[in-house]
């Protein structure tokens, strides 16, 4: 039985370089990093005082219809990123939804429109929560639950909890754009967005939807979430005086760790036949996906599986799913965050899959340009992969100078024949995701 | 090699070969089922923290739980949060029942995981202390440097990492060696129903032969109870907590929080038969939809729930408006989402009528949440298991605390007492805050 093919028709990345694929693509091709000292909170008390923050001009209100502006008050940053990304991807796809124009008939039937979004563990805004907590201190200045229960909790807005449930990304997006089809929220750390795209593919294949808004969004730029990144061993030491643009060195022998970037993105993925029927511009094919779970010696994966075997399994599953061989892959976008243990896991996995020819496969390294984007990574990387195959061009790389067997040292952007681009990532917790993005013919 | 040609994937049948749960009413299938049949309750005062002044002071807590009774080596899971601990206990029961542990030919790369697990519990004492220490009274904002200084000393690394919602996956993978596709979804109260549905879909597609699936969650902590109290979703009944959760009753005033885990083993039929396993039931259909309506309100006609039920029934090849040859309605039982909030129970009733029309009144529909509490992300998996048990035992669990009929809610809610019935096909609903609706259809394996 032939499978329904799935294509990418809308791109909506949201990164430190702004909203949409064009500003990101320009920065990647020019090798221009957006990593800089944090503005949103004073990060000088942490290992890394810099990261990849969205531009100060980012305003979620630009991406919601007037009638929905009030709801932006209950959007955590992660939700704002998803809402901005969704509107951008839908516009890019040329779709009309209720969120684009409520007075015009939608060009996609609401019940055929799904939504799958990868999300992180959303940390509460500490200013707001603490302003409430401090009303419930005992004589020693310690939080007193009995004061809190009796009175203090009333300081929180009634909808407080709904700012931080991971599924509220999809909740807002589905409401704004009237997506009544299957909707899910995948929470597997760095693998989340790739796994969401795989779920959209599966949902479209089985006929439960014709198109999905799909991807992921995450912001760790909040003291609590930021500390968790430190705890997970993800952060380089980088003071405000260091040049953050040169800190992250993926796969380099001198790599010292990563810097976090907030962001993510949504894509419109669609059944090939319905995309063609509506005359959509097709960026690329979403031709195969794979997933696996790593064996982690310490259970939760702080010490990643050095063998790379499971990530290799996910990549091989994606290649099989796409009906291509390792030889057909012309470029690779790994997580490549500059954390030595994770980079070595990826190196081992890529070497398993590609053997000696791994050195001929150019890697695209996003982390020095926009930071490690956590649950949003897969969506940004697949957007970039789609742009690579549609432009037949590789972006530049910066910072790394000695990456051994991997083709990952600093280089300028170049035009190149690209048939299939592999996106892959391991994750804290051991879930692996791989996606093959193909030139659309 | 136990893998299957993906080209035959669309016809792959999927069966349940193992089940387990850790619940407020006990930690094994049989004793909890007996208690459900006896209309007992798992509710009591909250003891996890001092909740005496909270609007809601009671919940259905898991009691006397000891993970070392279930796992091979508890020290491997020493840092596990409560959610992962519950998940391990439930999954070990399911794994044991399935017999997969004794199947030497098992290819663990074809064993996947799809959970609807909730996030771990915040280390609240240190979290609150760090926030208070970092708070600048003058600006009423957090001073990042002061906060970090305190938090670096106060907070425990593993305790923080274990709060990530994918950590139950990691613990189960470690326990059983599963290396296939692994996902966690978190769609609030719909999560584990959705997880089972997508696990079913992954096996059908040929991506795995076996999936460990289900959910685990606890929100019985300061911020969890606070959050739901502020939303006015919880019952604030005074008096006997065992009477607080009253699904479908006119006087219902909100849900009661539960906690725990339900886990199942799903398997392609051919894989199960090839190793001589006994299918407990067959997953026949799965539907998912979004309300796309409002952040806090359910679409009032029950459109979203009706859509997920409709898709699940269609996939199962069931016409909701047809009668079977022996005169029975299209299905035998609905495990309701039935939270006991005013809105959910009315709209769910409306949605069921929308799907089954005049036949709705002939289909018993109950909510075990009156006894068990609402296990949030884990609720759907636990309720799916009760559907399998209903089929196997020929008994329907009751909706307890049903005393005052609501004139608008006129279906057969199996009030107060379990009932014997011929049960071949069940439908299980879960609806999440935020508008995700998920439905599973499970039937007797023949």
Which three-class secondary structure string do you get for A206-257? CCCCCEEEEEEEECCCCHHHHHHHHHCCCECCECCCCCHHHCCCCCCCCCCC
Residues with Cβ within 8 Å of B188's Cβ and at least 6 positions away in sequence, in order, are A165, A167, B376, B377, B432, B433, B434, B436
Per CB-CB distance under 8 Å, the chain B contacts of A46 are: 144, 148
Facing B145 at nearest CB: one of A42, A180, A292? A42
pLDDT value of residue B4: 37
Best residue in A47, A130, A425 for a mutation probing chain B (most B CBs within 10 Å): A130
- Amino acid B7: pLDDT: 39
- Taking an 8 Å cut-off on Cβ atoms, the answer to whether B149 and A45 are in contact is yes
Q: Do A43 and A139 share a domain, yes or no?
A: no
Q: Are the C-beta atoms of residues A183 and A170 closer than 8 Å to each other?
A: yes
Shortest CA gap A397–chain B (Å): 31
The minimum CA-CA distance between A168 and chain B, rounded to whole Å, is 6
Is A430 in contact with B311 (Cβ distance < 8 A)? no
Helix axes A77-93, A168-177, angle to 10 degrees: 40
Query: Which has the higher per-residue pLDDT, A245 or B8?
Result: A245
Helix axis angle, A192-205 to A377-391, nearest 10°: 70
Q: Burial code of B107-136, b = ≥16 C-beta within 10 A, e = fewer?
A: bbbbbbbbbbbbbbbbbbebbbbbbbbbbe
Degrees, nearest 5: CA angle B251-B256-B258: 155
The verdict on residue A212 lying in a domain is yes
Tens of pLDDT, residue by residue over A252-286, are 999 999 999 999 999 999 999 999 999 999 999 99
User: What confidence score (pLDDT) does residue B35 get?
Assistant: 98
pLDDT at A302: 87
User: Is A171's CB within 8 Å of B435's CB?
Assistant: yes
Q: In CATH terms, are B14-122+161-274 and B286-443 the same topology?
A: yes
Q: For A218, list phi and psi in degrees, rounded to 5.
A: -160, 140
Statement to judge: residues A93 and A35 lie in one domain: yes
- Residues of A numbered 37-66 whose beta carbons fall under 8 angstroms of chain B's beta carbons: which are they? 41-46
Count: domains in chain A: 2
User: Do A380 and A296 share a structural domain?
Assistant: yes
A431: nearest CB among B161, B183, B188 = B183
* Phi/psi-derived region of residue A266, left when phi > 0, alpha when psi is between -120 and 50, beta in every other case: beta
Q: Contact at 8 Å (CB) between B432 and B190?
A: yes
Domain closes at, from A115, A138, A155:
A155
* Distance, CA of A216 to CA of A185 (rounded, Å): 9
Say how many residues make up chain B.
446
In this structure, the answer to whether residues A270 and A205 fall within a common structural domain is yes
The bridge status of strand A36-37 relative to strand A50-51 is antiparallel
Q: In terms of domains, do A135 and A10 share one?
A: no
Tell me the C-alpha distance between A428 and B259, whole Å: 25
pLDDT confidence of residue B446: 96
Interface check for A68 against chain B (CB to CB < 8 A): the answer is no
Which of B183, B190, B208 should we substitute to test contact with A (largest number of A Cβ atoms within 10 Å)?
A: B183
The residue in chain B having the minimum alpha-carbon distance to the alpha carbon of residue A314 is B181
Using alpha carbons, select from A237, A283, A266 the residue that is nearest to residue A438.
A283
Interface of A with B in 251-290 (CB under 8 A): 290
Distance, in Å, from the CA atom of B334 to the CA atom of A355, rounded to the nearest integer, reads: 54
CB B324, CB B318: distance < 8 Å: no
Angle, alpha carbons B92-B336-B181 (nearest 5°): 40
pLDDT of residue B10: 52
Q: What is the mean pLDDT of residues B208-228?
A: 98
- State whether A55 and A141 are in the same domain: no
Residue for token pair 């061989």: A325
Nearest CA in chain B to A118: B185
Residue B381: its H or E element: helix B379-393
> How near does any CA of chain A get to the CA of B158, in Å?
8
Distances (CA, A) of A388 to A196, A363, A413, B253, B344: 21, 12, 11, 55, 47
- In the three-class reduction of DSSP (H, G, I as helix; E, B as strand; rest coil), residue A393 is classed as strand
Structure tokens at A114: 């799904």
Give the minimum alpha-carbon distance from A185 to chain B in angstroms, rounded to a whole number.
5
Domain boundaries, chain B: 14-122+161-274, 124-158, 286-443
Q: Cα dist. B279→A274, B272, B446 in Å?
A: 39, 7, 9
- A384 assigned to some structural domain: yes
Average pLDDT rounded to a whole number, residues A366-373: 98
Q: What is the ipTM of this complex?
A: 0.98
* CATH number reported for the structural domain that contains residue A372 in this entry: 3.40.47.10
- Are A382 and A437 in contact, with CB atoms under 8 Å apart? yes
Which of A121, A119, A169 has its CA nearest to residue B162? A121
Residues A278 and A361 placed together within one structural domain of the fold: yes
A211 and A96 in a single domain? The answer is yes
CA distance A406 to chain B (A): 26
Q: What is the CATH number of domain B14-122+161-274?
A: 3.40.47.10
Mean pLDDT of A35-63: 97
B164 and A121 within 8 Å at the Cβ level: the answer is yes
Q: Cβ–Cβ of A429/B169 closer than 8 Å?
A: yes
CB A169 within 8 A of CB A117: yes
- Are residue A214 and residue A149 in the same domain, yes or no? no
Question: Hey, how many other C-beta atoms are within 10 angstroms of the C-beta on A77?
Answer: 23
Q: Does A186 touch chain B (CB under 8 A)?
A: yes
Q: Identify all chain A residues contacting B112, using CB atoms and an 8 Å cutoff.
A: 291, 293
Do the chains contact at A429 and B10, CB–CB below 8 Å?
A: no
Contact across the interface for B185 and A110, Cβ inside 8 Å: no
Nearest chain B CA: its distance from A223 CA (Å): 7
Contacts of B132 in chain A (CB under 8 A): 130, 133-134, 137, 141-143
Of the candidates B436, B410, B387, B432, which has an alpha carbon nearest to the alpha carbon of residue B36?
A: B387
Whole-number Cα distances in Å, A98 to A74, A174, A175: 21, 10, 9
Q: Which of B197, B241, B127 is nearest to B427 (CA)?
A: B197
Cβ B295–A175 below 8 Å, yes or no? yes
Instruction: Give just the sign of the alpha carbon dihedral B239, B245, B248, B252.
Output: positive
- DSSP secondary-structure letter at A137? B
The alpha carbon dihedral of A327, A329, A331, A333 has a sign of negative
**Residues A240 and A151 placed together within one structural domain of the fold:** no
Residue B8: exposure state from Cβ atoms within 10 A (0-12, 13-18, ≥19): exposed
Q: Over the stretch A185-228, which tens digit does the pLDDT of each residue have?
A: 999 999 999 999 999 999 999 999 999 999 999 999 999 999 99
Q: What percentage of chain A reaches a pLDDT higher than 90?
A: 96
Q: Does residue A222 lie within any of the structural domains?
A: yes
Q: Using alpha carbons, select from A13, A291, A221, A81 the residue that is nearest to residue B113.
A: A291
Of B113, B147, B183, the CB nearest to A45: B147
Distances (CA, A) of B33 to B338, B381, B397, B445: 19, 14, 9, 20
Q: In this structure, is residue A1 part of a structural domain? A: no
d(CA A274, CA A279): 9
Residue A348 in any domain: the answer is yes
Task: Convert the pLDDT of each residue in B93-149 to its tens digit.
Answer: 999 999 999 999 999 999 999 999 999 999 999 999 999 999 999 999 999 999 999
Mark yes or no for CB contact A153/B226 under 8 Å.
yes
Query: Would you please indicate which residues of B are annotated as catalytic (active-site) residues?
Result: 189, 337, 374
- From the list B129, B166, B222, the residue facing A188 with the nearest CB is B166
Q: Taking CA atoms, what residue in A is nearest to B125?
A: A143
State the DSSP H helix or E strand holding residue B95, giving kind and residue range, or none if neither. helix B82-98
Query: Nearest CB to A182: which of B289, B294, B303?
Result: B289
Residue A79, SS3? Answer: helix
Q: How far is CA B262 from CA B67, B95, B185, B193, B287, in A?
A: 15, 12, 15, 10, 20
Assigned token pair, B25: 């009413």
Give CA–CA dist B388/B378, Å, rounded. Answer: 16
**Spacing of C-alpha A102 from chain mean position:** 29
Largest CA distance in chain B: 75
Instruction: Name which of B39, B18, B30 is nearest B417 in CA terms.
Output: B39
* Among A45, A137, A172, beta carbon nearest to B132: A137
Q: What are the pLDDT digits (tens) for B291-306?
A: 999 998 999 999 999 9
| Cβ contacts of B160 on chain A, cutoff 8 Å | 227-228, 231
Instruction: Nearest by CB to B185, from A161, A184, A205: name it.
Output: A184
What's the mean per-residue pLDDT of chain A? 97
Q: Check A199 against B148: CB less than 8 A apart.
A: no
Q: Indicate whether A278 and A222 sit together in one domain.
A: yes
Q: Is the pLDDT of residue B5 over 60?
A: no
Of A126, A179, A185, the CB nearest to B187: A185
A231 touches chain B (CB under 8 A): yes
Q: Does A1 have pLDDT greater than 80?
A: no
Contact across the interface for A119 and B186, Cβ inside 8 Å: yes
Q: Which of B208, B215, B223 is nearest to B261 (CA)?
A: B215
Where does the pLDDT of residue B3 fall: very low under 50, low under 70, confident under 90, or very high at 90 and above? very low
Q: Residues of A with CB below 8 A from B109's CB? A: 292, 313
Query: Is pLDDT of A94 > 70?
Result: yes
CA distance B243 to chain A (A): 22
**Alpha-carbon gap, residue B309 to B335, rounded angstroms:** 12
As a whole number, the mean pLDDT across chain B is: 96
Q: Give the per-residue pLDDT at A245.
A: 98
Q: What integer is the mean pLDDT of A369-388?
A: 98
Cβ–Cβ of B161/A300 closer than 8 Å?
Answer: yes
CB A186 within 8 A of CB A217: no
User: Residues in chain A, how many?
Assistant: 441
Of B283, B291, B308, nearest in space to B426 by CA: B283
A278/A375 same-domain check: yes
Q: Give me the CATH topology for the region B286-443.
A: Peroxisomal Thiolase; Chain A, domain 1 (3.40.47)
Domain ranges, residue A137: 130-155
Element (H, E) at B128: helix B124-134
Q: Specify whether the CB–CB gap between A237 and A25 falls below 8 A.
A: no
Residues 6+ apart with CB under 8 A from A401: A249, A252, A254, A409, A410
Three-class secondary structure of residue A426 per DSSP: coil
Terminal Cα-to-Cα distance of chain B (whole angstroms): 26
Q: How many CB pairs under 8 A join A and B?
A: 298
């Amino acid at each position: 039985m032939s499978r329904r093919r799935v294509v990418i028709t809308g791109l909506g990345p949201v990164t430190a370089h702004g909203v949409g694929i064009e500003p990101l693509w320009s920065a990647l091709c020019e090798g221009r990093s957006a990593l800089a000292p944090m503005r949103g909170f004073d990060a000088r008390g942490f290992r890394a005082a810099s990261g990849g923050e969205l531009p100060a001009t980012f305003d979620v209100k630009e991406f919601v219809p007037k009638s929905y502006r009030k709801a932006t008050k209950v959007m955590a940053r992660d939700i704002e990123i998803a809402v901005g990304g969704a509107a951008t991807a839908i516009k890019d796809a040329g779709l009309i939804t209720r969120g684009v124009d409520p007075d015009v008939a939608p060009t996609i039937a609401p019940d055929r429109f799904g939504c799958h979004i990868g999300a992180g563990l959303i940390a509460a805004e500490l200013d707001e929560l603490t302003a409430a907590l401090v009303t419930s201190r005992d004589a020693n200045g310690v939080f007193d639950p009995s004061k809190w229960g009796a009175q203090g909790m009333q300081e929180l807005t009634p909808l407080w909890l709904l700012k931080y449930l991971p599924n509220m990304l999809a909740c807002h997006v589905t409401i704004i754009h009237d997506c009544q089809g299957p909707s899910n929220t995948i929470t597997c750390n760095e693998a989340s967005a790739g796994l969401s795209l795989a779920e959209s593919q599966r949902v479209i294949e089985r006929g439960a939807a014709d198109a999905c808004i799909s991807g992921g969004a995450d912001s760790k730029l909040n003291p609590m979430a930021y500390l968790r990144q430190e705890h997970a061993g993800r952060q380089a030491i980088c003071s405000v005086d260091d040049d953050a643009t040169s800190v992250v060195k993926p796969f380099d022998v001198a790599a010292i760790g990563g810097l976090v970037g907030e962001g993510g993105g949504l894509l419109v993925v669609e059944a090939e036949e319905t995309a063609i029927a509506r005359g959509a511009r097709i960026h690329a094919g979403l031709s195969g996906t794979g997933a696996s779970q790593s064996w982690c010696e310490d259970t939760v994966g702080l010490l990643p599986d050095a063998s790379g075997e499971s990530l290799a399994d996910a990549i091989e599953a994606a290649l099989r799913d796409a009906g291509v061989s390792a030889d057909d892959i012309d470029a690779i976008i790994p997580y490549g965050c500059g954390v030595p243990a994770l980079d070595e896991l990826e190196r081992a996995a890529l070497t398993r899959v590609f053997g000696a020819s791994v050195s001929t496969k150019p890697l695209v390294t996003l982390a020095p340009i926009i930071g490690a984007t956590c649950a949003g990574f897969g969506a940004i990387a697949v957007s970039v992969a789609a742009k690579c195959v549609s432009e037949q061009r590789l972006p530049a790389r910066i910072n790394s100078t000695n990456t051994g067997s991997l083709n990952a040292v600093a280089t300028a952007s170049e035009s190149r024949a690209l048939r299939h681009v592999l996106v892959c990532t391991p994750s804290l917790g051991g879930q692996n995701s791989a996606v093959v993005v193909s030139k659309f013919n | 090699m136990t893998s299957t040609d993906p080209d035959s994937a669309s016809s792959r049948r999927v069966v349940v070969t193992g089940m387990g749960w850790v619940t407020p009413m006990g930690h094994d299938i049989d004793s909890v089922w007996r208690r459900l049949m006896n209309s007992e309750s798992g509710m009591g005062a909250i003891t996890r923290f001092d909740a005496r002044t909270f609007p809601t002071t009671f919940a259905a807590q898991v009691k006397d739980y000891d993970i070392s009774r279930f796992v091979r080596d508890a020290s491997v899971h020493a840092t596990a949060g409560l959610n992962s601990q519950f998940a391990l206990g439930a999954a070990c029961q399911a794994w044991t029942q399935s017999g997969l542990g004794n199947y030497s030919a098992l290819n663990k790369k074809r064993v996947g995981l799809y959970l609807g697990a909730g996030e771990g519990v915040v280390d609240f004492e240190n979290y609150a202390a760090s926030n208070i220490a970092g708070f600048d009274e003058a600006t009423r904002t957090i001073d990042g440097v002061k906060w970090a200084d305190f938090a670096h000393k106060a907070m425990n690394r593993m305790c923080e990492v274990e709060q990530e919602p994918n950590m139950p996956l990691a613990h189960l993978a470690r326990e059983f060696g599963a290396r296939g596709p692994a996902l966690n979804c978190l769609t609030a109260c719909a999560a584990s129903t959705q997880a089972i549905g997508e696990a079913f879909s992954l096996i059908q597609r040929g991506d795995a032969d076996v999936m460990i699936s289900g959910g685990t969650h606890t929100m019985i902590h300061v911020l969890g109870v606070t959050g739901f109290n502020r939303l006015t979703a919880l019952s604030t009944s005074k008096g006997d907590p065992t009477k607080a959760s009253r699904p479908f009753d006119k006087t219902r005033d909100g849900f009661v929080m539960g906690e725990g885990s339900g886990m199942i083993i799903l398997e392609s039929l051919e894989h199960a038969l090839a190793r001589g396993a006994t299918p407990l039931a067959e997953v026949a259909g799965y539907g998912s939809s979004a309300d796309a309506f409002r952040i806090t309100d359910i679409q009032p006609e029950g459109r979203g729930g009706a859509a997920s039920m409709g898709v699940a029934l269609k996939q199962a090849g069931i016409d909701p408006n047809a009668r079977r040859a022996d005169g029975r309605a299209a299905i035998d039982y609905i495990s309701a989402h039935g939270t006991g909030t005013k809105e959910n129970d009315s709209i769910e009733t409306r949605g069921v009528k929308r799907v089954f029309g005049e036949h709705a009144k002939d289909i018993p529909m109950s909510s075990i949440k009156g006894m068990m509490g609402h296990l949030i992300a884990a609720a759907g998996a636990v309720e799916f298991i009760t559907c399998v048990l209903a089929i196997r035992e020929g008994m329907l669990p009751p909706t307890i605390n049903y005393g005052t009929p609501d004139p608008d809610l006129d279906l057969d809610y199996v009030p107060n007492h379990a009932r014997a019935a011929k049960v071949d096909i069940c439908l299980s609903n879960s609806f999440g805050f935020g508008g995700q609706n998920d439905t599973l259809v499970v039937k007797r394996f023949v």
